[in-house]
Amino acid sequence: MPSLNGDIERERIWIEKSKKDTTAFKPLYEKYYDPLFRFFVRRTDNEALSADLCSTTFFKSLDNLKKYEWQGKPFGAWLFRIAQNELRKHYRDSKPIFVIEEDKLNCWEEITEFPKPDYMQSLIDLLDDLPEDDLRLLELRFFEMCSFEEISALMSIGVSATKMRMYRLLDKLKKRLIKEDDKARL
């Protein structure tokens, strides 16, 4: 498995080549299309719209690539910022729609060791009430399977801060679930 630094260096080379020749953009497109498409599908629940938003995002990234300044971070951080802006533009400042698929809720094991069917609905309700940044953090880690380093770059916060925020968020969810369970027993 290639190292994160090796991947980033490879991306830097692809970006430099793409600035001179747009056909060199293909490896970046192939690397980020699926994660970007999933990003849009989870927020729109519409594959056709997601494909359109992906196209627009890649077009804008390629169109503005000459302005892109290398900062030693994954290209995806910049690309996902463009994607977020496109999604916001599409919804015109309305709150994005998040679709949480119960069978893909990988963070369940992080929150409780003894899943109960009624906890799942409580967890979904808790996730619905989370601020957008917290929900994005969970999505990147457990749905997109991003490393803490990648999340750090995408959210523009330090790696340590990303880890601390994740563990605090999981602890908060766990405590709320226990509190909900205690209420249900009364």
d(CA 77, CA 145): 15
CATH fold for the domain made of 102-185: Arc Repressor Mutant, subunit A (1.10.10)
Query: How is residue 154 written in tokens?
Result: 């995408």
Position 104 scores a pLDDT of 44
Position 27 scores a pLDDT of 92
Position 86 scores a pLDDT of 87
Using CA atoms, how far residue 27 sits from 43, 82, 89, 142, 151, in Å, is 25, 18, 27, 25, 21
Reported as a single tens digit per residue, the pLDDT across 37-88 is: 988 888 888 898 899 999 999 999 999 888 888 887 888 888 888 988 888 7
Mean pLDDT in order along the chain per 10 residues (186 residues): 65 90 91 90 86 92 87 84 84 49 47 51 74 84 78 83 90 80 62
Residue in the structure block whose two tokens are 């020749």: 21
Query: Would you say 77 and 153 are in contact if contact means Cβ atoms under 8 Å apart?
Result: yes
Report the top-level CATH class of 4-91: mainly alpha
Q: Is the dihedral of CA 38, 9, 27, 29 positive or negative?
A: positive
- Give the residue extent of every domain in the chain: 4-91, 102-185
| Whole-prediction pTM | 0.52
